[in-house]
Amino acid sequence: MLDEAGRRLATAPAGTRIDLRLGELDSLPISTDEVDGAVAGMVLHHLPDPSSALREMYRIVRPGGAAVVVELCPHREDWLREALGDRHLGLDPGDVVAAFRREGFEQVQLSELEDRYQPTPPGGGPPANLSLFTVRGHVPVASP
């Protein structure tokens, strides 16, 4: 995936700073407070403990910065476990909001997306039609 990202980002405007790093979501190769923001798109439902990724996002984002998660709502497409390595059949949006708050994020906002995730089952058949949501939160700015 890093190779593909590098290819796609090769045409970025001059002066754009891009640094691709290989790491684990619960132990990112990024220093504390190093980035202005973090995005995890369609990732948490693959993890045994989604909170571990949120904890890392909180650690790496500077005070005042934002973290955004795009995730699947709960569903019944059990074939996604084997086909795509899903550990959870979607996540409850309220649970993700609560996890953001537990990790220390402030101004946490939940939004339902109009877009849908439509994976096709192995061997064909009609695609699934899965709902998506986002949760966004900010790392608090340190008090003076």
Give the pLDDT confidence of 25-52 residue by residue, as tens digits.
889 999 999 999 999 999 999 999 999 9
Q: 76 in a domain, yes or no? A: yes
SS3 114: strand
Q: CATH number for the domain including 109?
A: 3.40.50.150
pLDDT at 47: 95
SS3 107: strand
Q: Could you identify the residue written with the tokens 């709960």?
A: 74
Question: What are phi and psi for residue 54, nearest 5 degrees?
Answer: -65, -40
Rounded to whole angstroms, the Cα distance separating 67 from 72 reads 17
Q: 123 in a domain, yes or no? A: yes
pLDDT at 136: 98
Q: 144 in a domain, yes or no? A: no
57's tokens: 């996002």
Q: 17 in a domain, yes or no? A: yes
SS3 56: helix
Q: 30 in a domain, yes or no? A: yes
pLDDT at 124: 87
- Largest Cα–Cα separation, the chain: 59
Domain containing 77 equals 2-138
40's tokens: 């995890």
| Reported pTM | 0.90
Give the pLDDT confidence of 92-144 residue by residue, as tens digits.
999 999 999 999 999 999 999 999 999 999 988 999 999 999 999 999 997 55
Q: How many structural domains is the chain composed of?
A: 1
Q: 143 in a domain, yes or no? A: no
Rounded to whole angstroms, the Cα distance separating 18 from 24 reads 19
